Chain A
Amino acid sequence: GDSVTQMEGPVTLSEEAFLTINCTYTATGYPSLFWYVQYPGEGLQLLLKATKADDKGSNKGFEATYRKETTSFHLEKGSVQVSDSAVYFCAFNTDKLIFGTGTRLQVFP
């Protein structure tokens, strides 16, 4: 069935380190792909999206490229900040949004 697999957290980094959070999906066809972010005590916010193969979504220094061949949508950021500490969810949609289990990122000064 449809599913999203994310790398398990927590991911612990020092400020200015490079971030990669892996995400792969299993779906019928070529769905739109999303990354959502959840800051402590808040709801989910759309971080970035890509709607077709080879599209790159970007926002706030984060990037992810829709890789059809590997069914992946890995999240990257070149230099993380303490304020990036949050839980990151990979997701794709048909008429329902299918989430991964989330990856907690902790960035220390």
Chain B
Amino acid sequence: NAGVTQTPKFRILKIGQSMTLQCTQDMNHNYMYWYRQDPGMGLKLIYYSVGAGITDKGEVPNGYNVSRSTTEDFPLRLELAAPSQTSVYFCAAAWVSAGEANYGYTFGSGTRLTVV
């Protein structure tokens, strides 16, 4: 199984450009998440989804949008890229039951984004 697949792996954007980071999972997990990791920092939750058609904000949602039209796909959209969005982005999926992901999360390999 591929698990969680993210594309692209690297991208350089100019200020004001837009792009979509793709995330696909083949595990039939109900929950999916987008995190960003800034240099030397931990992971901060941007958005998450508890199932197809349902999304919710995390800690740092400003400047991003998401959609979850299918169980498998959870793309993250940047509309007007800013230097503050330079980061590594990780998508994750988990099976959550009774409010807990007892088996942990499966992470993609990340997308390194630089905004110049």
Q: A residues bordering B, Cβ < 8 Å?
A: 31-32, 34, 42-46, 49, 51, 89, 93-97, 99-102
Q: B residues bordering A, Cβ < 8 Å?
A: 31, 33, 41-43, 45, 48, 50, 58, 90, 92, 94, 96, 99-110
Q: How far is the CA of A17 from the CA of B65 in the complex (A)?
A: 46
Given contacts A43-B107, A45-B107, A101-B41, contact A96 B58 (CB under 8 A): yes
Q: How far is the CA of A42 from the CA of B108 in the complex (A)?
A: 9
Contact A32 B102 (CB under 8 A): yes
Nearest A residue to B4 via CB reads A43
Chain B contacts for A93, CB-based, 8 A = 94, 100-102, 104-105
Nearest B residue to A42 via CB reads B109
Chain B contacts for A43, CB-based, 8 A = 90, 107-110
Contact A97 B33 (CB under 8 A): yes
Given contacts A95-B31, A96-B33, contact A46 B42 (CB under 8 A): no
Nearest A residue to B112 via CB reads A41
Contact B105 A94 (CB under 8 A): no
Q: How far is the CA of A102 from the CA of B109 in the complex (A)?
A: 17
Given contacts A95-B31, A95-B99, A97-B92, contact A46 B43 (CB under 8 A): no
Q: How far is the CA of A96 from the CA of B48 in the complex (A)?
A: 8
Candidates A31, A34, A99; contact of B43 at CB < 8 Å: A99
Given contacts A43-B107, A44-B107, A95-B50, contact A32 B101 (CB under 8 A): yes
Chain B contacts for A102, CB-based, 8 A = 41-42
Contact A46 B100 (CB under 8 A): no
Contact A95 B96 (CB under 8 A): yes
